[in-house]
């Protein structure tokens, strides 16, 4: 049976869980410094592994000049964390700033590429930064992220330039659509931040970050990302808790670091949102190694706050848009419902 032009040009959806061996190799190579350090200091090794997460998540782009994108990603994450940490002791300012940043980034996304970077990454990291107890610690983490991204960029340059598919660019959205989405995104982030402060959670920004990382302009994508993040975070946090409970020797921690970064990089093109599981594994493992015996509480905190963030994202990203859609009544005498 032949394939006609229409079917030949039809976009093929990504597999639910995709695997790219070349990108997995990048993740493995990115883990080398952290693995080496882990044999003498497991906690520092995991911290260094967190630093190369942006590089492992970016992958190997076809053109060498584009591979510096991981530097931009690492800097955006670091800057977001530092700004969030600066707001962490000012509840009202933090809630208002989250709303304004979400609104501004969404509107800017329709005009400049940097707007999309702000909307999908930098602003969620501002939310995550609310979990820091002091700005100095956030600056240290940001520095590790920048250095890790630079190392990952150098590693990625070892790959030869190659042909690859053009990056999928989102269709331009009307300004009124982006404005409406920005308001909903801002309200969702502000609600999560407000709940974190009201309940005085240990990590006030986890729910906010989860919400802003999950929510997207289309309800379908928000639902998919919400389910994926909830499942992946639960699995990642559980694995970290169980590993920390065994008081693992340095060699085991080193293997876990390599496996997590390799898995994250190798599966980054998956349609399901699985990267959150690998990042959560490293973050919870780092917290559990830093404060022994806290693994179960960190697991419960991470999962519950993620579910809170996902739930708020579903309300503002799926429920609210469905309520705003006009109802089309059926024609008189019709037996069925009117088409959407």
| pLDDT for residue 13 | 62
pLDDT recorded at residue 168: 56
Q: What does the alpha-carbon distance between residue 36 and residue 27 come to, in Å, rounded to a whole number?
A: 15
CB within 8 Å of 105: residues ≥ 6 apart: 115, 118, 119, 122, 123, 182
Look at residue 145 in the predicted model and tell me its pLDDT. 96
H or E segment and range at residue 321 = helix 320-324
Mean pLDDT for back-to-back runs of 10 residues, the chain (340 residues) = 40 76 96 97 96 93 92 95 97 98 92 86 96 95 96 95 65 77 97 97 95 95 94 96 95 98 95 93 95 90 96 97 63 37
Question: What predicted TM-score, i.e. pTM, was given to this entire model?
Answer: 0.86
Which tokens belong to 2?
Answer: 């032949």
Residue in the structure block whose two tokens are 């404005």: 179
Q: What is the pLDDT of residue 177?
A: 83
Cα gap 249→215, rounded to integer Å: 39
Residue 216's pLDDT is what? 93
Which 3 state secondary structure label does DSSP give 236? helix
For 40, the token pair is: 């003498």
**What integer pLDDT is reported at residue 175 of this predicted model?**
73
Q: Tokens representing 52? A: 């190369």
Residue 279 and residue 261 in contact, taking contact as beta carbons nearer than 8 Å: no
Half-sphere exposure of 174 (CA within 13 A, CB side): 3
């Amino acid at each position: 049976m032949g394939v006609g032009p229409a079917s030949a040009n039809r976009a093929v959806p990504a597999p639910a869980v995709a695997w790219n061996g070349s990108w997995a190799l990048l993740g493995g190579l990115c883990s080398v410094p952290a693995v080496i350090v882990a044999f003498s200091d497991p906690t520092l090794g995991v911290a260094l592994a967190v630093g190369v997460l942006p590089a492992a998540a970016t992958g190997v782009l076809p053109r060498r000049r584009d591979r510096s994108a991981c530097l931009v990603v690492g800097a955006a994450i670091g800057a977001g964390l530092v700004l969030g940490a600066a707001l962490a002791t000012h509840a009202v300012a933090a809630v208002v700033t989250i709303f304004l940043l979400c609104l501004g980034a969404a509107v800017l996304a329709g005009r400049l590429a940097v707007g999309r970077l702000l909307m999908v990454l930098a602003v969620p990291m501002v939310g995550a930064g609310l979990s820091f107890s002091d700005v100095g610690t956030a600056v240290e983490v940001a520095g590790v992220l920048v250095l890790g991204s630079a190392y990952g960029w150098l590693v990625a340059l070892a790959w030869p330039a190659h042909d690859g598919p053009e990056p999928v660019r989102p269709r331009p959205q009307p300004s009124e659509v982006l404005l409406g989405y920005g308001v909903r995104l801002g309200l969702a982030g502000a609600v999560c931040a407000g709940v974190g402060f009201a309940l005085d959670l240990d990590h006030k920004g986890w729910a906010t970050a989860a919400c802003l990382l999950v929510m997207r302009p289309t309800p379908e994508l928000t639902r998919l990302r919400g389910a994926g993040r909830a499942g992946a975070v639960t699995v990642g946090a559980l694995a970290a808790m169980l590993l920390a409970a065994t008081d693992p020797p340095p060699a085991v921690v080193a293997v876990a670091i390599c496996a997590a970064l390799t898995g994250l990089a190798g599966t980054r093109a998956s349609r399901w949102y699985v990267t959150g599981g690998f990042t959560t594994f490293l973050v919870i493992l780092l917290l559990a190694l830093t404060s022994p015996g806290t693994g179960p509480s960190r697991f419960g905190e991470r999962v519950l706050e993620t579910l809170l963030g996902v739930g708020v994202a579903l309300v503002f990203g799926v429920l609210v848009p469905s309520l705003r859609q006009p109802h089309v009544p059926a024609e008189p005498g019709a037996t069925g419902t009117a088409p959407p």
